[in-house]
Amino acid sequence: MAAESKPGSGSSIVRVPGGLFAGATYPFRAFSLLRKTPKLRGYVLVPILVNLVVGSTLYAGLLFAGFQGIDAAIQNLPAWAAFLDVVLRVLLTILLFLLTGFVLLQFGVLLGSPWYGKLSEELEQLRAGQTVIPPGGIGGIFVEIWRAIAFELKKLFLTAAIAIPLLLLNFIPGFGTLIASVGGIALAATIVCLDFLDPALERRRFRFRTKLGIVAQSLPASASFGLVCLALVSIPLLNLLAIPLCVAAGTLFFAIAFCLD
């Protein structure tokens, strides 16, 4: 296994990639770059087809069950809360689309990882003039598989460690529900940010804690980047294109955040 690269060893942080507004612009910068660079489009086409198959299955199942659940929840409202019908239906529908987009992202990134990895390599080479390529061969393949599984498990642990207390906050009327909702969106945006930065970070064999540290060091840009990407992957049909676009955006984000020696 290649030794883990560290910020300041082979690559050092020289500046965060802009402020709150700048972080939100990276998906649009990536779109502009992909539009102007035809050789990168091949790495986007196959993942889009994969997303189309996975997305159709997920939306057919999750949205159908989700809308049934929303109808059941609204019907069980007490009479005095009937005026909340429309508001709750809108909020729960938005939450359902966010959840479905988040699940699609996890499957789409995992299944499309070979193409996303190559897209990230080529884009980093184009943007920074060089890249890091992990060891190949049979041993390298097993290391990649193990690290991918470990990454997903650590994300699940992080999600559970934060989501469970947030769910308990819902039992506190008023502010508890508000804090839980804001915290849930922040958690989802953090996981999304990790997913889209990961192709560039994983090539350097960063540990999970180091990856989280890079997200934290890049605040507030990483926050707006994660929120915009979360919104894009939550919009049906658009998210089929948004996942590879945000992978490219994550590589641009990393290349600008780091000075690659």
pLDDT in tens, 112-167: 777 777 888 888 777 766 666 665 556 556 777 777 788 888 888 988 898 888 88
Tell whether 209 is covered by a domain.
yes
Q: Is position 250 within any domain? A: yes
Examine the pLDDT at 259 and tell me if it is beyond 70. Answer: no
Is position 61 within any domain? yes
Total number of domains in the chain: 1
Interacting residues of 105 by C-beta distance below 8 A, sequence separation 6+: 192, 195, 233, 239, 243
Q: SS3 of 11, please?
A: strand
- C-alpha span between 256 and 50 (Å, rounded): 29
Contacts of 26 (CB under 8 A, 6+ apart): 17, 225, 228, 249, 250, 252, 253
Q: Is residue 110 part of a domain?
A: yes
Checking if the pLDDT of 40 tops 70, the result is yes
- Please check whether residue 176 is in contact with residue 158, taking contact to mean a CB–CB distance below 8 angstroms: no
Containing domain of residue 231, as a range?
Answer: 18-260
Could you identify the residue written with the tokens 């080479």? 125
Structural domain includes residue 230: yes
**Segment 167-218, tens digit of pLDDT:** 887 677 657 667 877 888 888 899 999 989 988 888 888 899 999 988 888 8
Instruction: Work out the percent of the chain whose per-residue pLDDT is above 90.
Output: 6
Query: Of how many residues is the chain composed?
Result: 261
- Structural domain contains residue 28: yes
* pLDDT for the residue 1: 41
Has residue 7 been placed in a domain?
Answer: no
Digit-coded pLDDT (tens) for 56-107 = 777 777 777 777 776 676 676 666 655 566 666 777 777 777 777 777 777 7
Residue 3 included in any domain:
no
**pLDDT tens across 42-51, in order?**
788 877 787 7
